[in-house]
Amino acid sequence: MKHIVDLESWERRGNYTFFRDHLNAWYSVTTELDCTESYEQSKQTGRSFFLRYLYAALRAANEVPAFRYRMDAQGQIVWYDTVDIITPIALPSGNFCTVRIPYQVDFDEFAARAEHLIQENARSGDPYGVEQSIFASGEYDIVHLSAVPRLYFTAMTYTSYRIGQGCTHPLMTAGKAISRAERWVMPFSVYVNHAFVDGSHLSTFFEKMQSFLSSPLDRMSSSANKEGALG
């Protein structure tokens, strides 16, 4: 559900008005995440490592309120109760399709839904069909994650959506997992609007994502989540 923010009483009014007239208020941060537990669990169980970190990123974004603020087409500040994730999926043809996966707290439910949607969207042959649908609706209750599993990177830049507007929603990029000192690590970049997201919010996001990557799969079931096992 979308909520319109009252700018006059909003606690970030000063932040927003400061960055409102910047040529581009968006910035990106790249870090390295320890993915040892999730990577090895995925290999041992045959589960998708890609879906594992996709889930971790989406859940972390939903648990940090700053990641759910947007500016709509009318220039209003809006806030969503939850956000979904869109991600490009490589196809055997060499092309790709983009899939929108709804947020689910339970990992098994998220993964099952994701696998079904990937199969369905792969048949459409339209790489930007999901984005066009979102553009048409004007509702940006999403985050975007691109995966480059063959590339390890140390920095990332992003395209601008319009002149003077970096984007409408956070963008993320996940890179190649590599072995280092008997651990597995992966680069991860996030691109956010400084009017909504400060460094402290990014720190919390990365801490949460790291926690979800390090947790056993059985701790991400519905019963475990209801007990607050992951906070």
pLDDT score recorded for residue 229: 44
pLDDT of 171 reads 96
Over residues 32-89, the pLDDT tens digits come to: 999 999 999 999 999 999 999 999 999 999 999 999 999 988 889 999 999 999 999 9
Q: How far apart are CA 181 and CA 13, in angstroms?
A: 45
- Residue 229: C-alpha distances to residues 63, 105, 193 (Å): 14, 12, 31
Q: Is residue 115 helix, strand or coil?
A: helix
Asked if residue 212 lies in contact with residue 55, where contact means CB atoms within 8 angstroms, the answer is yes
Q: Please classify residue 170 by burial: count the beta carbons closer than 10 Å to its beta carbon, then call 0-12 exposed, 13-18 middle and 19+ buried.
A: buried
pTM of the entire structure? 0.92
- One-letter amino acid at 20 equals R
- The predicted model gives 191-212 an average pLDDT of 97
**Cβ atoms of residues 97 and 128 within 8 Å:** no
The predicted structure's pLDDT at residue 75: 85
Residue bearing tokens 């991400």: 220
Note whether 208 and 59 are within 8 A (CB): yes
Amino acid 162: pLDDT: 65
Three-class SS state of 112: helix
Contact (Cβ atoms closer than 8 angstroms) between residue 144 and residue 170: yes
pLDDT of residue 49: 97
Tell me the average pLDDT of the chain: 90
pLDDT band for position 194 (50/70/90)? very high
Torsion on CA atoms 42, 48, 53, 54, rounded to nearest 10: -160
- Show the domains of the chain with their CATH numbers: 22-218 (3.30.559.10)
- The pLDDT assigned to 231 comes to 44
Question: Max Cα separation, the chain?
Answer: 53
- Amino acid in position 67: F
What's the Cα-to-Cα distance from 211 to each of 22, 43, 81, 206, 217, rounded to whole Å? 34, 19, 22, 9, 12
Find out whether 174 and 148 touch, Cβ atoms under 8 Å.
yes
Q: Quick: pLDDT tens for 82-133.
A: 999 999 998 877 788 899 999 999 999 999 999 999 888 777 767 888 888 9
